[in-house]
Structure 1
Amino acid sequence: MTEESSIHFHLSFIEPQAHYVNVKMTIKGFRNQEYIDVKMPVWTPGSYLVREYARHVEQFVAKSASDDQLDFQKINKNTWRINHSGEDLVVSYSIYGFETSVRTNHIDDSHAFLSPAATFLHVAGHIHQEATITIDLPKTWTKISTGLQKSESDLFTYYAANFDILYDAPFEIGNQDVWSFDAANVHHEFAMVGSGNYDKDRIAADVTKIVEEETRIWGSNPNDFYVFITHNYQIGSGGLEHLNSTVLGATRSGYNQDVFYKNYLSLVAHEYFHLWLVKRLRPKPLGPFNYDEENYTSLLWIIEGFTAYYDNLITRRCGFRDEKDYLQMLALEFNTVYNRPGFEYQSVGLASFDTWIKQYRPDENSANTSISYYNKGAMLAVALDTKIIRETNGVYRLDDVLKAAYTHFYLIEGRGFEEKEFQLLAEEVTGVSLSEIFGAVYTLEELDYNNYFNPMGYELVDLNEHNQSLSLGIKTANNDTRILIKGVDRDSGAWHAGLNVNDEIIGVNGYRLDPNGRELEHIIHDSHAGDVIDVLVARDGLLKTIPVTIGYSDKKAYIIQPLENRSEEQLRLGSIWLSL
């Protein structure tokens, strides 16, 4: 590689209606080499699944600067080896993209959303090489939204100091609705894709509150420019964080509905919080990235779980949720975990480590074998927050730990953290022993969370604790009047009897099921625990009668509510925890 080395991409859309983007990659200065390997990432940071982006690469061609075609060989799933002529190289290829998500390419006649890890190749061993990107817009498209630095000379050319930055800067290209506002001394741009009943002024005002509250927590904002890209769908959700941007999914008709809108603000708060936690303050294995394979860590319960705790807490602090609403959202984390039998089989540390094979690949048995580090991490985060508040008499809380960790590991030392040193720093900052909570990360034993809620003046209560409702332990779905089993709970009557997912329930105790399955509900309601009912199912076209024992439901219905007769101290600490 010479000092004059450079990489330039030229993007064009010859057939957007067929879901293609055409890419021309000009590689200059990489001389005195027998061959050059160019590679595509197999995953994108923030979404921990090997997605095999290279499967969408088509029409790969390599030429010299003098337009001579060069021989190449694909040496593995995501690497092309090009025989080097000694001249500069031009690599051309097409990418097919028609998957609706925040982490994959979607191209049609109205717009192109480009996930850079799924679009751009890099020269092997030169991830730190700078790159420029020029985009040719179709005649009917007018706008580009991205967090990358714009060229001063060309409105449609962008610059990335290295490929880590490029792979962390998605592009929205089309006719999106764009507006901007300033918050925490940072210029923010909104790009709304697709129609929706959103109010720009309201969103700008509310997101400003979120940005300023989160900047206050962390002490400083690392950006001077930030982009929110929102894709509006009939039903939409989810998001993915980036270095100075995020991509969100939203329900186009939900902005004037209280629940949908508050959940959208929580999503904004979640992804923006990742500016600090994940994108900068992160575990050692998550930077620098290895784009060729899984990057394992057991600490997603911190970086995602803590963020899942703070997203709704931020909306509470900003005044978007009242106390009751916030506590309902927090209780949802407990219900989600404890209503999956998998919480007795998988620790949150293992859930973090196994995200590459479990989190994004759920099946019919996932609820019986696994939990989400988002929900369980949020539960541990509230335990840490309330314990620190209690033990320090309200002087410190989890906010202070995060700010200190960001300052120490990222701003001062410029590196990732390990779990033990994160715990030690937290204990040093607060003067509180946190070993009980950190120790719960790798065990199946549950904390008594009321030990943490009660000093704040609240209690976690299961409304179903004394409820003896009956159940077979199955989840069903109505598919065109066919009642199909979609889930079987571990250790339930259905589990032990051998009912299977995708069994069609035809009848019970000699009665044919009505199209809505109400007959099954009536029979269970009129039975007693221990009764055996005969369930007639169709399995792969064969009829089979299976005797199933009815049992008590083990489903939880947790709420978090104020204690009666709270002391002045409980009221004081509780007000610190849930302060506006």
Structure 2
Amino acid sequence: MTRLFNFSSLKPHKKHLLAFTYCLAALSPSAFADVLVDINIDKPEHHLSTISITFDPSDRQQMQLQLPVWRTGRYEILNLANGIRALSVTDSEGQHLTWSKSAKDTWLIEDVANKSVTVSYQLYANQLGKRTRHIDDSHAFLDASAVVMYSDETRDEQHSISLNVPEGWRSVSGLAFGENEHQFIAPNYDVLVDSPIETGELKHHEFTVDGREYELAIWGEGNYVEQDMVRDLKKLVQQGPAIWSDYPYERYVFMVHATSGARGATEHLNSTIIQRNRYAFNSRDDYLSFLSTASHEFVHTWNVKQYRPEGLVPYNYQAENYSNLLWLSEGSTSYFQNQLLVRADIMTVPEYLKRVSKRVNGFMRKPGRDSQSVAQTSFDKWIDEGGDYGKNHSVNIYSEGYLVSWLLDFAIIEDTKGKKSYRDVHNALSKDFALPKSFNEQDVLTILRDVTGKSYESWWQENVHGTPQPDFDKLLAKAGLKITYGKNEKVNAWTGISTKPTPGGLTVTAVEKNSPAWQSGFTTDDIIVAVDGLRMADKDLNKRLKNFAPEQTIHVSFFRRDQLMHKNITLGALPEGTLSIKLVEKPSRKQKQFFKAWTGMKFPKA
């Protein structure tokens, strides 16, 4: 069976040549492999492997090798070269060549003209949570950006990756297979670093949907049900046409780590890696969370892996790649992920609205929404602070990117009377700006004009470069929805402080900007020991606050820099119930039509 490569990240002048090369290489994968990579997992119990990379002769006098300083899907500088030791360089005769290290991620090899060069080094792989490289006695997860060095001169050349693994291990990847089950072929380095390899003691399933091949590979024990995962992933992968005109792959691999401690996921060109707590699959909410993550990464197969903003094309692996459109890459993906689950009849409409409710509540409780735009947070993603400061003074490309995508979707639906939506914008990006092209803000604005027939310049300035102030009641009413806090309209006393138990009191972990505690001058790391002169015996400050009412003033004793201090807080109020979004009882025909244009589903019956 012929396995196809995805050529989306190839440079234009190489694309047709490599397509021809692959047709021949499908018959004999090693015949045209210009870069040979051998990965010998010889000491898995110590997280060690030996990497050998052989480069064909060239006329250059010096070779510069590098290891990326970040990996795709994670916009953060990482220390990926820190696990490399015992490097040696030889030619085809076994003679050692002189090398030196010029930077943390760069090696220079001398006198290489007309010589085959083999670079070997020991690799320590124990970065499971970063989804870069991890080896133990049961598996190895290998993202090439943290494993395989490259040269600019050979970045476009075919790479053949051969694994030497313990007996009984299975190897999977979105890459094409080579001559055996532990060999893979990448048409170039860019495809290699975007196609991780999982090998080990795996639970493995193969299935076909609409002529395309899929694999599910699970490492680790947990409370998941494999058959349920396969059943629902089959439903999910059929939803591509809800947004895009075609599929960008013939084969796709879902890799799942059921583990302890590590969590998160990363999209790749032809696969995804999803990490979850081994016991976070069984309950309905946990299982939907897993499928929501799978859907997020599936959306990325188009949004980012087939079209992405200027600044990220082509990838510069040795430095930050700046863009003010990362909110569109990540936030829009978050926005679409659960819509696909609803369309696939995996998630119910009430379950979908519950998740929208969390987004609304999160935005309303994030003071940073007035301090930073989604364009600014996109550009600054590489220096994202997070924590208390981030919540009070920043937004992020995921949650606020979701919000702006939602606002844009509703604006398009309204302006076109339900004939078009934000989905049409992404389909146009996929068709008109497929890699190796890239798009910028003006390109998106042009598409918006084409889709709606009107200018979105002022909308863009207000919501992308400004700080949006949505009227959620008015927004939701368009689709026949409303916000409610339940039948209980009671309010509770509120300080704006988050705490964690500590010996002798409660340590302040966050103070919401402009909250009562903020106005009183409380800050992180204060240790609250008493309220109104009584020791803080409760491990939960909110439980203690049930003894007070909004607008009352409490006297708080606390330690700061080991000094006992006292401050008063005049309590604020928060609704006792949980914010939720519900269907209106008697929706109009217009509201029903809007709801269907938004979700693709008929307005549910009461």
Q: Distance in 1 between matches of 2:180 and 2:544?
A: 70
Query: Which residue among 547, 557, 560 is the counterpart of 1:525?
Result: 547
1:528 CA drift (Å): 5.3
After TM superposition, the structure 1 = structure 2 runs for residues 189-204 of structure 1, keeping only pairs within 5 Å, are: 189-204=215-230
1:436 CA drift (Å): 5.0
1:220 CA drift (Å): 1.1
Q: Distance in 2 between matches of 1:68 and 1:323?
A: 67
Q: 68-77 vs 43-52, which deviates more?
A: 68-77
1:177 CA drift (Å): 0.7
Q: TM-score, normalised by structure 1?
A: 0.92
Q: Distance in 2 between matches of 1:5 and 1:176?
A: 28
Q: 490-499 vs 254-263, which deviates more?
A: 490-499
Do 1:5 and 1:28's aligned partners in 2 also have CA atoms closer than 8 Å? no
Distance change >3 Å, CA 429–CA 493, structure 1 → 2: closer
Please state whether the residue corresponding to 2:387 is helix, strand or coil.
Answer: coil
Aligned to 2:61: 34
Q: Distance in 2 between matches of 1:379 and 1:462?
A: 21
Aligned to 1:573: 594
Summarize deviations over 1:228-265 as a string: whole Å, max 9, x none: 10000246642100000000012333433111111111
Residue identity in the other structure for 1:49: E
Do 1:460 and 1:559's aligned partners in 2 also have CA atoms closer than 8 Å? yes
Do 1:43 and 1:51's aligned partners in 2 also have CA atoms closer than 8 Å? yes
1:563 CA drift (Å): 3.3
Q: Distance in 2 between matches of 1:14 and 1:251?
A: 28
Aligned to 2:513: 490
Q: Distance in 1 between matches of 2:408 and 2:483?
A: 16
After TM superposition, the structure 1 = structure 2 runs for residues 242-321 of structure 1, keeping only pairs within 5 Å, are: 242-321=268-347
Summarize deviations over 1:46-92 as a string: whole Å, max 9, x none: 11001121122111222222222222111112100011243211111
Please state whether the residue corresponding to 1:529 is helix, strand or coil.
Answer: coil
Aligned to 1:543: 563
Do 1:481 and 1:515's aligned partners in 2 also have CA atoms closer than 8 Å? no
Q: Distance in 2 between matches of 1:78 and 1:133?
A: 21
Please state whether the residue corresponding to 1:197 is helix, strand or coil.
Answer: coil
Aligned to 1:114: 142
Query: Which residue among 392, 401, 425 is the counterpart of 1:401?
Result: 425
Distance change >3 Å, CA 58–CA 215, structure 1 → 2: farther
Query: Which residue among 97, 120, 129 is the counterpart of 1:101?
Result: 129
After TM superposition, the structure 1 = structure 2 runs for residues 74-153 of structure 1, keeping only pairs within 5 Å, are: 74-86=101-113, 87-101=115-129, 103-139=131-167, 141-151=168-178, 153=179
Aligned to 2:96: 69
Q: Distance in 1 between matches of 2:33 and 2:591?
A: 64
Q: Distance in 1 between matches of 2:251 and 2:69?
A: 28
Please state whether the residue corresponding to 2:314 is helix, strand or coil.
Answer: coil
Query: Which residue among 75, 84, 94 is the counterpart of 1:57?
Result: 84
CA RMSD between the two structures: 2.5
Aligned to 2:9: none
- Which segments of 5 or more consecutive residues in structure 2 lack a partner in the other structure? 1-20, 22-31, 602-606
Are residues 1:383 and 2:404 paired?
no
Please state whether the residue corresponding to 2:279 is helix, strand or coil.
Answer: coil
Residue identity in the other structure for 2:138: S
- Which segments of 5 or more consecutive residues in structure 1 lack a partner in the other structure? none
Do 1:401 and 1:430's aligned partners in 2 also have CA atoms closer than 8 Å? no
Residue identity in the other structure for 1:400: D
Summarize deviations over 1:156-196 as a string: whole Å, max 9, x none: 22111111001001111111111110123210001001112
Please state whether the residue corresponding to 1:365 is helix, strand or coil.
Answer: helix
Residue identity in the other structure for 1:561: K
Summarize deviations over 1:443-493 as a string: whole Å, max 9, x none: 124133444432222234678998653223210112467522111122234
Distance change >3 Å, CA 82–CA 552, structure 1 → 2: same
1:216 CA drift (Å): 4.3
Please state whether the residue corresponding to 2:420 is helix, strand or coil.
Answer: coil
1:143 CA drift (Å): 0.6
Summarize deviations over 1:319-378 as a string: whole Å, max 9, x none: 2222221111012112222212111111111111111000xx423322111112211121
Q: Distance in 2 between matches of 1:388 and 1:465?
A: 36
Please state whether the residue corresponding to 1:286 is helix, strand or coil.
Answer: coil
1:211 CA drift (Å): 0.7
Do 2:530 and 2:558's aligned partners in 1 also have CA atoms closer than 8 Å? yes
Aligned to 2:469: 446
Are residues 1:562 and 2:583 paired?
yes
Do 2:505 and 2:536's aligned partners in 1 also have CA atoms closer than 8 Å? no
After TM superposition, the structure 1 = structure 2 runs for residues 425-436 of structure 1, keeping only pairs within 5 Å, are: 425-436=447-458
Q: Distance in 1 between matches of 2:153 and 2:76?
A: 22
Are residues 1:172 and 2:192 paired?
no
Q: Distance in 1 between matches of 2:371 and 2:245?
A: 39
Distance change >3 Å, CA 473–CA 23, structure 1 → 2: same
Do 1:468 and 1:552's aligned partners in 2 also have CA atoms closer than 8 Å? no
Distance change >3 Å, CA 165–CA 176, structure 1 → 2: same
Are residues 1:510 and 2:510 paired?
no
Do 1:150 and 1:158's aligned partners in 2 also have CA atoms closer than 8 Å? yes
